[in-house]
Amino acid sequence: MNCRSCTGSSCRHQPCVGKVPIFSSLEQEDLAHVALMIRHREYQKGETIFAQGDAPDSLIIVNQGSAKAFKYTPGGQEQILYIFEEGNFFGEQYLFSSQIAAYYVQALEPLKVCMLSKDNFEQLLHRYSAIAVKVIQELGLRMTRLENALQSSGVRNLDARISALLLDFAEKYGSGTSGGILIRLPLNREGMANYLGIARETFSRKLTQLESDKIIRSVDNKSILLLDKQALQEKTL
């Protein structure tokens, strides 16, 4: 992997710990203690952080950029499981067992991460019980999102699932403009289709229909303008 790694004071001028939710309860002195334990790495778009079958040995926190966790179906199709954004973390489940990674994690764009080794992470959990509570809360939310996604894939119709995805992206990546909500998409059209577990052609056809209905407007390959949020919300019901 063509990534750069660094440690020491030269890297800590932009520590990520202050903006990571699992460390939000710590005082400045404690945050400084955590920062001393962190290693920083950078990945280019498309680089793999770890692969299915690897044995990750660090808690990895997204400092800047985003990454996707995915598996391949028996038919060879990519199935996206999660999108990790700034402040999210992953790899924690492999630090307390001999499990190997069950999925791939790959950078969706230039990515900066903070890494805590297994030993350092265990030290923090013993020293700061609030961190352990935050980690448990985050894992619970992640499980709920995955369960909801699995449930909706079997119950919701396709229009509702696509609408829900666009609304989720609008909340996370959208910015208000005079014409609507401009959504900077974390995935391309193929990636969003993979996220939903449908064919790209089907997804593109549904987006075209939303454009015809004047609910959205494609700006470019990475952006969509949400023109009518209420109409999109009604499609999720």
Amino acid 184: pLDDT: 93
Compute φ and ψ for 195, nearest 5 degrees: -60, -40
Amino acid 216: pLDDT: 94
Residue pLDDT tens, the chain, 237 long:
434 444 444 344 345 676 677 777 777 888 888 888 888 899 999 999 999 999 888 889 898 899 999 998 888 888 888 899 888 888 877 777 778 888 999 999 999 998 988 888 888 888 877 777 777 777 667 666 666 555 555 546 888 889 989 998 999 899 999 889 999 998 888 999 988 888 889 999 999 999 999 999 999 888 999 999 999 999 887
Amino acid 9: pLDDT: 42
Amino acid 11: pLDDT: 43
Q: CB-based contacts of 45: which residues, under 8 Å, 6+ apart?
A: 107, 108, 109, 110, 111
- The CATH number corresponding to 4-154 among 3.30.1490.20, 1.10.540.10, 3.30.70.100, 2.60.120.10 equals 2.60.120.10
The CATH fold assigned to 157-235 is Arc Repressor Mutant, subunit A (1.10.10)
Residue 84 near residue 66 (C-beta atoms within 8 A): yes
> Edge-to-edge strands of the sheet including 174-177?
174-177, 180-184, 223-226, 216-220
Q: CB-based contacts of 129: which residues, under 8 Å, 6+ apart?
A: none
Give the global pTM: 0.73
**At which residue do the structure tokens 């609507």 appear?**
180
Amino acid 27: pLDDT: 78
Domain range summary for the chain, segments of one domain joined by +? 4-154, 157-235
What Å distances lie between residue 212 and 164, 217, 236, CA to CA?
18, 9, 18
Amino acid 197: pLDDT: 83
Q: What angle is formed at CA 43 by the lines to CA 134 and CA 20, rounded to 5 degrees? A: 20
Amino acid 12: pLDDT: 44
User: What is d(CA 187, CA 172) in angstroms, rounded to the nearest whole number?
Assistant: 13
Amino acid 142: pLDDT: 67
